[in-house]
Every structure is written in C-alpha cells, then in structure tokens.
Amino acid sequence: MIKQSATKAGLLALALATLSPQLASAQSLNTREWTFVIGRSVPLTRGERSSIRYLIPGVDMSRVSATNSGKLRGVLHSDRSDSYKRNQIKWLLKR
C-alpha cells in the first residue's frame, strides 16, 4: 500500500513538473516570483496596508503599484518572521 501511494505521488509530481515548473516543488516557491493574483490585480486592503506600515514605519504607500500588490500580499500572509517580511517588502518597493 505504501509503495502504491509513493507511485501515485511520483506521478503527481511528474504531472506538476510537466504542467508548471513553479508548482513542481513546494520548496522552490519564492515570494519574489509567486503572486496571489490571477487575472486583474486587486488592490491591497486597509488591513494589509496597515500591516505594511507596521512593518516599515514611514513607508510611502503611493509606491505600491497594482502589479506588486499580489506579491506584497504573498509576503504579508506568509508564515515567515517579521524581519524576513520587512526585507522582502523593502525589496519589492524598490523595484
């Protein structure tokens, strides 16, 4: 039974690698390349903007473009430390 489920998992991994290289391994997910937007960009909510202001006091929210909102949302909702989130947000806002 274990061997059969391992085979199914291998086939699933192969199918994911064929369809989308980014989905092939969960370890390779990088918030710099991964967005939570499919289709039209959704602006950040008031709570997400306040979270950014909490992490980086004095940040100019006019620098947040609609294309970066999905990437910023991915960083904010990740389970990483505040220090990591702060560095990622600064990096995204410099682009």
DSSP 44: P
Which pair of structure tokens corresponds to residue 22?
A: 């980014």
Percent above pLDDT 70 for the chain: 59
Q: Domains of the chain: which residue ranges?
A: 1-28, 31-94
Higher pLDDT, 35 or 64: 64
pLDDT at 48: 93
Q: How many helices (H) and strands (E) does the chain have?
A: 4, 0
83 confidence band (pLDDT: 50, 70, 90): very high
Cα angle 60, 66, 80 (rounded to 5 degrees) comes to 70
Higher pLDDT, 51 or 14: 51
Q: What is the pLDDT of residues 39-74, one digit of tens each?
A: 777 888 999 999 999 999 999 888 888 788 888 999
